[in-house]
Amino acid sequence: MTDYFRQHLGARLLLSYLAIILVGMIVLIIASQFILPASFNRHMAGMGPMNNGMMGGQGRGERVGALPFYLEFRASFNEALIYAGLAAAVVAVVLSIYLSRSVIAPVSAMSHAAQRIADGRYDERVQVSGEDELAQLALRFNQMAEKLDQVEAMRRRLIGDVSHELRTPLTAIKGSMEGLMDGVLPATQETYQQIHMEADRLNRLVDDLQELSRVESHAYQLDIRPVDISALVQTVTKRLASQAESKRVSLDLDLAPDLPPLLADEHRAVQILTNLTGNALQYTPEDGTVTISAKRTNNEIQISVRDTGIGIPPEHLSNIFDRFYRADKSRSRRAGGGSGIGLTIARALVEAHGGRIWAESAGEGQGSTFTFILPVAK
C-alpha cells in the first residue's frame, strides 16, 4: 500500500487533499467544543430570562430546558460537518483525478516515450497541448528526440558511406590481385602502378577520415596569431604550382593592397586555402584560370578562390560541404578520385575560427567561386 502511494503521484495528491480535509475537520470539532457553548449561551441570554444559557445559568430548571436544545443544535452541527467533509472528499477525489489527467498523464507519456527512445526508437514523440510549463517540457522533449534522431541517422549514414568509400578501392585492389594470380592480368609495371594508386587512394581516404573526425570533434588546438596574407597565399601557390602547371591551368593572384594580417592558425589557414585551390585546379579543365583574391571588409578578411572550371549546378550548391558529397560522383572519380571530405574539413576549420565559408556558381560550365571569411588581427 505504501509502495502504491510512493509510486503514484495522483494517489499522493489525493492523500494530501484528504489529510487537509481531516485536519480541517478535527480543528473545527475541537474549536467548536470551546466556542459553541459560549456562543450558545450568549444567544440564549439574548432570548430572555427563561432561557438564560445552559451552563452557568442561575436556576436548575433553566439548565434542563436549555440542554436538549443545545444537544440537538450540536448534533445538527456535527451532521452538517459530516456532509461538508463528504462534499470536500468528493471534491478532493474529482480534483485529484483532474490533476492526474492534466499533470500526471503528460509526464507519464513523456516517461514512456523516453523509455522507448532509450530502447532505440528515435522516432518517438509526445503530444504537445497548451502553453504551460508541461507543454514547454514536452516541446523540449520532442526537440531532444528530434536531435537524437538526426544524430542516429547521421551515424548510420556515416557508417554506410565509409564502408562504401572503403569498398571501392578495396574491390579494385582485390580484383587486380586476383587477375594477377590467375594470370589474366599481365604482371606489368602498369598493373602494379594501378594497384598502388588504389592503395594510395585508400590511404588518403583513411587519413582524410581521421582528420575529419579530429576536426569535427575539436580534438586539436588552434594556434591563433596574426598571419600575413600574402605569405599565406605564397605558401599555397608554391605548394600547388606543379599541379597547376601539369594541368596547364594558370594560377593568378588578386590581393588588395595594404591588407592587414588576419587572425588565424597559420597551418590551418594554409590547409583551408590549399583545399579550395586544390579543388579549383582539380575541377578546371586545361587552359582555364584559377584566381586567389583577398580583400578587407570591415573587420574581416575575405579570401576567394575563383575558377573557370566545370561549375556547380545550383541544386548541389547547398550540399557540397556535406561529407562524401560530390556534385557528380562519376566525374569526380575520373577527374582524380576525390572522396568528398575536403570541403567538410575546410568548413569545420573555418567555423572553428569563427568564420564563414560558402560557394557560388552560375551553373554547370560557368566556373565556381569559393569564399571564406576570417577576422582581421587588431
Ligand X SMILES: Nc1ncnc2c1ncn2[C@@H]1O[C@H](COP(=O)(O)OP(=O)(O)OP(=O)(O)O)[C@@H](O)[C@H]1O
Residues near ligand X (CB under 6 A) are 208, 279-280, 283, 307, 309-312, 320, 325-328, 332, 338-344, 368
In this complex, which beta carbon is closest to Mg ion, that of residue 17 or of residue 324?
A: 324
Pick one of Mg ion, ligand X, none as the site partner of residue 307 (Cβ within 5 to 8 A by kind): ligand X
Shortest distance in whole angstroms from residue 311 CB to ligand X: 6
Q: What cell numbers appear for 209 in the block?
A: 577520415
Total interface residues for Mg ion by CB under 5 A:
3
In the bound state, the residue with its beta carbon closest to Mg ion is: 342
Instruction: State which residue, 121 or 214, has the beta carbon closest to Mg ion.
Output: 214
Closest separation in Å from C-beta 215 to ligand X: 13
- Nearest-CB residue for ligand X: 338
Nearer to Mg ion, 173 or 276 (CB): 276
The 3-state secondary structure of the chain reads CHHHHHHCHHHHHHHHHHHHHHHHHHHHHHHHHHHHHHHHHHHHHHHCCCCCCCCCCCCHHHHHHHHHHHHHHHHHHHHHHHHHHHHHHHHHHHHHHHHHHHHHHHHHHHHHHHHHHHCCCCCCCCCCCCCCHHHHHHHHHHHHHHHHHHHHHHHHHHHHHHHHHHHHHHHHHHHHHHHHHHCCCCCCHHHHHHHHHHHHHHHHHHHHHHHHHHHHCCCCCCCEEEECHHHHHHHHHHHHHHHHHHHCCEEEEEECCCCCCEEEEHHHHHHHHHHHHHHHHHCCCCCCEEEEEEEEECCEEEEEEEECCCCCCHHHHCCCCCCCCCCCHHHHHHCCCCCCCHHHHHHHHHHHCCCEEEEEECCCCCCEEEEEEEEECC
Q: How far is the CB of 342 from Mg ion (least distance, A)?
A: 3
Q: Is 368 in the site for Mg ion (CB under 5 A)?
A: no
User: Out of 338, 346, 359, 368, which residue is the one contacting Mg ion (CB under 5 A)?
Assistant: 338
Closest to Mg ion by CB, 100 vs 279, is 279
Is 196 or 331 the residue whose CB approaches ligand X more closely?
331
Q: Considering only the stretches 63-71, 157-165, 258-266, 278-286, report the one whose residues sit in contact with Mg ion under the rule CB under 5 A.
A: 278-286
Considering the complex, state which of residue 53 and residue 342 has its C-beta at the smaller distance from Mg ion.
342
Contact yes or no for 281/246 (Cβ under 8 A): no
CB of 343 to Mg ion, least distance (A): 6
| Cβ 344 to ligand X shortest distance, Å | 6
| Closer CB to ligand X, 302 or 368, in the complex | 368
245-257: string of b/e by CB count within 10 Å (b at 16+)? Answer: eebebebeeeeee
279 contacts Mg ion (rule: CB under 5 A): yes
Q: Min. distance of Cβ 322 from Mg ion in angstroms? A: 13
Q: Is 288 in the site for Mg ion (CB under 5 A)?
A: no
Return the residue of 169, 288, 309, 342 that touches Mg ion, per CB under 5 A: 342
Rounded to an integer, what distance in angstroms lies between the CA atom of residue 91 and that of residue 104? 18
309 binds, among ligand X, Mg ion, none (CB under 5 to 8 A by kind): ligand X
Q: Cβ of residue 349: shortest distance to ligand X, in angstroms? A: 12
Residue 100 binds which of ligand X, Mg ion, none (CB < 5-8 A, kind-dependent): none
Residues that bind Mg ion (CB under 5 A): 279, 338, 342
